[in-house]
Structure 1
Amino acid sequence: MLFSQLEPRTARTTGEVVRFALWPIAVMTVLHRVFIKAINGYITDDFAPVYKASLAFLNHREVYTTNFDYVDPHYLYPPSGTLLIAPLALIDPEKSRWLFILINAVAILIAWYLLLRLFKLGMSSIAAPILLLAMFSSETVTNTLVFTNINGCVLLAEVAFIMLLLQRRDLWAGVALGLTLAVKPILAPLLLIALARGQWKVFITAIGVPVALTAIAWPLSKDPMDFVKYTLPYLAESRDYFNSAIVGNGEYYGLPTGLTWLIRVLLGIAVLASLWLLYRYYREDELFFVATASGVLLTAQFLIGSLGQMYYSMMLFPLLLTVVLRNSVLRNWPAWLAIYGFMSYDSWLSTRFLTEGRAAEYLKTTFGWSLLLIVIACVLVDRYLSARREGRLDQGIDPAFLLPAQHDRKERISVEP
């Protein structure tokens, strides 16, 4: 009797087989990424300058002393961000780094759970282990933990912002976004979604939180003006190293400035077309609109802006999960070829094909982001043209097989004798 109770349950359906197979793989992958790869670390260390700046802030010493002539990770957070992360320096560097890894891992796990809830997916669904495994197998989560930066917390804030925005809890949505803006402006484009939806109260706290934190941090900082004099100009520049944005790769490979701008403008037009069609025909489909538009805006920022690093792709998880929606723009193979480009942990560096391997490694993220924006624009434009040709723009631009009337008609035909 005892052994029969301990016997593992045998799967009886395909869904159960998938869950039983993927849950242990997903859990072990999480443990490996957090306690082995992240603790081991790597030559790239985003945490060291953060800890050094936090310690300097707590001891009222100069914080902004980075030499930008070197390519080592720099400290780039404003005084408001320094204030938020300063408690990290209350303990020794090694334990502080471990704590920061754990904080980010927990933030990613909470974001994973909230994403499942956002898309009405339960813990018993096959999506739960698939998403968990996909997240912790990706380059963006792996290197966020290994390099030890704050992106996991930013992802959690992004998911919280989307959920609160959809629930019309505008002030709290602004708080979630404002906390990230106090550290880094990576999610600033999401304010355009609040603007498009007329949720003006978001701006009160989204702007008020970083302003208030800056007001507190400024007199406590030894050299706050140095952030304005030296760090801000550096942030406004593009660089030709560790930069997957078009301008970064353009400078690295010596492309003519005019060609770089032409590529950026053409992709910008594709982005504007996508955003217009999403706003014009999908803003009432709130989850699809917010999740898809946020992904388009953030991808455009990474690709067309001055700086885009591969692990920024973590902020695209809400967009990727729209694949479970019937009208998703990601239900095609080119979209997932693009996603492979910026999510895969594979290295394409080759000891046999040095030049080709290096080019594939350095350009895969840029090509992935570019292809994603092109695919989304093509899907939406094709839907629009098809709907206009068929004279059903008044019903939206979803494919005909998704329209309620068509679906109901098929249902009636199928039950008629």
Structure 2
Amino acid sequence: MFLRQLEPRTARTTADVIRFALWPLAVMTVLNRVFIKAVNGFVTDDYKPVYQASLDFLNGRAVYTANFDSVDPHYLYPPSGTLLIAPIAVIDYEKSRWLFILLNAVAILIAWYLLLRLFNYTLRSIAAPVLLLAMFLSETVINTLVFTNVNGCLLLAEMLFLILLLRRRDLWAGVILGLTIAVKPTLAPLLLIALVRKQWNVFTTALGVPLVLTAIAWPLSKDPEKFFTRTTPYLLETRDYFNSSVPGNAEYYGLPPWLMWVIRLSLAVMVLASLWILYRYYREDELFFVTTASGVLLLAEWLLTSLGQMYYSMMLFPFLMSVVLRNSVLRNWPAWLAIFGFMSYDKWLSDRWPDIGRNLEYLRITFGWGLLLIVVFCVLGDRYLAARRAGRLPQLDPEWMVTAPDSRHTAGAVAMPGIEPDPARAARQPAVPEPVTPRVAETQAVRS
């Protein structure tokens, strides 16, 4: 039966053509990224300081000894993160690095599958190879594997957290998020989603897990206090290298402080307005609310705080996948121009126009993140104003965008012909048929 699946077949539909074409492209791209580009490595090596710190921890030596005057990658994890990641130093550096690359690759692949299931798609849908290829063509996945950092595991943890949150498995959702906070607080802003959804038990484990791990790690470490006295002040500083946040670019380009604060405060107002509209009018539309709010919160964190790096963008995959929802805020070209800015692996450095090329390369991430926040604010704001003028508040979405509340999370199947959802799962949801003219019905019959 397995070999029969490999038998060459002629595609009968457009969906078959796309699947047959994209699956080999996606699989070969994954193999290239994991076993060639990642193993080859790059001059930037995020893994070496982590391995060395883990080795020092296991051998009872001081861990927080980095020279912050250099621009080399530093070890910045707290004692709780050191405890969790220390087993990587049990074997030699090269084999440990290969295993860590494989661990992150597997985590990304599991997250890819969970992302499909979250939006009600199967491995037989067009969405499966499209999403897989898009992920492994992106800068964030490529450099996560090449630089060998922990972001792939964080993406998997984010997916598990969102799924458990939507299923109201609060304690387990908190455990997953707490493990990520124990290593690095990148996903900590997602606690705000649990807060507004009144899922209080999430906080019990999300805050308890890192506290317990810190209590265990403290007596086992030689210099745990230096994380707070030496490393934390460095983390709170705004550095002017490898930093795509607004303050980071302001430092690099020498912007006056007042201009930097005007930009930060303007974006902060847009973030607050977007979150208010999402909470006020969309919190019952759970999948749309959770994925969109998570994207807004993470973008705000990277843009407005002291540090934002391009490969953090991996955590936006759930938000970007929300484009399949009928009421997604990403169904417009400015959104995808923004996404190109921070997802593309293209380099814009130019030998002919070095200054222009350097500015394009350094600023495209910041402009991409910022433009995406502006797009979200404008789309939600326009919907609010249009709904108020039409007198249909609290319903923001126009009639053509509305689906049955219980089947809202399957809206992508309605909006994107050829990408079929899981039939068993979709059958459990009540469907609201849309009025179809005879001419459209005839066209749909031909397509099928």
* Same fold (TM > 0.5): yes
Structure-1 separation of matches of 2:232 and 2:365: 26
**Cα offsets for 1:182-203 (capped at 9, x unmatched):** 0000001000000000000000
1:312-323 aligned at under 5 Å gives the runs: 312-323=312-323
Q: 1:11 to 1:387 in 2, by over 3 A?
A: same
Q: 2:78 corresponds to which residue?
A: 78
Deviation at 1:403, TM superposition (A): 3.4
Task: Give aligned pairs, total.
Answer: 411
Structure-2 separation of matches of 1:187 and 1:115: 17
Q: 1:36 to 1:399 in 2, by over 3 A?
A: same
**Cα offsets for 1:353-407 (capped at 9, x unmatched):** 100000000000000000000000000000000000001013x1013322369x9
Larger RCO, structure (CA 8 Å, separation 6 or more): 2
Q: Secondary structure at the match of 1:411?
A: coil
Q: 1:326 corresponds to which residue?
A: 326
For structure 1, list consecutive stretches of 5 or more residues without a partner in the other structure: none
Q: 1:376 corresponds to which residue?
A: 376
Structure-1 separation of matches of 2:5 and 2:184: 52
Q: 1:25 corresponds to which residue?
A: 25
Structure-2 separation of matches of 1:164 and 1:404: 24
Q: 2:138 corresponds to which residue?
A: 138
Structure-1 separation of matches of 2:314 and 2:325: 20
Structure 2 residue aligned with 1:411, among 418, 435, 439? 435
Q: 1:6 to 1:235 in 2, by over 3 A?
A: closer
Q: Secondary structure at the match of 2:387?
A: helix
1:175-186 aligned at under 5 Å gives the runs: 175-186=175-186
Q: Does 1:283 align with 2:283?
A: yes
The percent of aligned pairs where both chains have the same amino acid is 73
What is the identity, as a one-letter code, of the residue corresponding to 2:348? W
Q: 1:228 corresponds to which residue?
A: 228
**Cα offsets for 1:3-42 (capped at 9, x unmatched):** 9997501111001101000000000000000000000000
Q: 1:19 to 1:363 in 2, by over 3 A?
A: same
Structure-2 separation of matches of 1:6 and 1:139: 31
What is the identity, as a one-letter code, of the residue corresponding to 2:67? N
Q: 1:96 corresponds to which residue?
A: 96
Q: 1:151 corresponds to which residue?
A: 151
Deviation at 1:410, TM superposition (A): 6.9
Structure-2 separation of matches of 1:354 and 1:189: 38
Structure-2 separation of matches of 1:167 and 1:4: 38
Deviation at 1:279, TM superposition (A): 0.3
Q: 1:402 corresponds to which residue?
A: 401
Q: 1:384 to 1:51 in 2, by over 3 A?
A: same
Q: 1:125 corresponds to which residue?
A: 125
Q: Secondary structure at the match of 1:337?
A: helix
What is the identity, as a one-letter code, of the residue corresponding to 2:397? D
Structure-1 separation of matches of 2:144 and 2:386: 42
For structure 2, list consecutive stretches of 5 or more residues without a partner in the other structure: 405-430, 440-448
Q: 2:208 corresponds to which residue?
A: 208
Structure-1 separation of matches of 2:330 and 2:436: 30
Structure-2 separation of matches of 1:149 and 1:285: 34
Q: 2:49 corresponds to which residue?
A: 49
Structure-2 separation of matches of 1:363 and 1:328: 26
Q: 1:390 to 1:231 in 2, by over 3 A?
A: same
What is the identity, as a one-letter code, of the residue corresponding to 2:118? L
Structure-1 separation of matches of 2:258 and 2:241: 20
What is the identity, as a one-letter code, of the residue corresponding to 1:284? E
What is the identity, as a one-letter code, of the residue corresponding to 1:374? I
Q: Secondary structure at the match of 2:380?
A: helix
Q: 2:15 corresponds to which residue?
A: 15
Q: 1:191 corresponds to which residue?
A: 191
Q: 1:338 corresponds to which residue?
A: 338
Q: 1:193 to 1:408 in 2, by over 3 A?
A: closer
Deviation at 1:345, TM superposition (A): 0.2
Structure-2 separation of matches of 1:98 and 1:412: 55
Q: 1:11 to 1:384 in 2, by over 3 A?
A: same
What is the identity, as a one-letter code, of the residue corresponding to 1:194? A
Deviation at 1:239, TM superposition (A): 0.5
Runs of 4+ in 1 over 3 A off after TM superposition: 3-7, 407-410, 412-415
Q: Does 1:166 align with 2:147?
A: no
The answer to which of 374-383 and 5-14 deviates more is 5-14
Q: 1:6 to 1:357 in 2, by over 3 A?
A: closer
TM-score of the two chains, using structure 2 as the length reference: 0.90
**Cα offsets for 1:302-337 (capped at 9, x unmatched):** 111110000000000000000010000000000000
Q: 1:113 to 1:399 in 2, by over 3 A?
A: same
Q: 1:160 to 1:4 in 2, by over 3 A?
A: closer
What is the identity, as a one-letter code, of the residue corresponding to 1:411? P
What is the identity, as a one-letter code, of the residue corresponding to 2:401? L
Q: Secondary structure at the match of 1:182?
A: helix
Structure-1 separation of matches of 2:397 and 2:203: 32
What is the identity, as a one-letter code, of the residue corresponding to 1:38? A
Deviation at 1:55, TM superposition (A): 0.2
Structure-1 separation of matches of 2:358 and 2:44: 19
**Cα offsets for 1:134-165 (capped at 9, x unmatched):** 00100000000000000000000000000000
What is the identity, as a one-letter code, of the residue corresponding to 1:81? G
Structure-2 separation of matches of 1:176 and 1:117: 19
Structure-2 separation of matches of 1:409 and 1:127: 23
Q: Secondary structure at the match of 1:300?
A: helix
Deviation at 1:414, TM superposition (A): 6.4
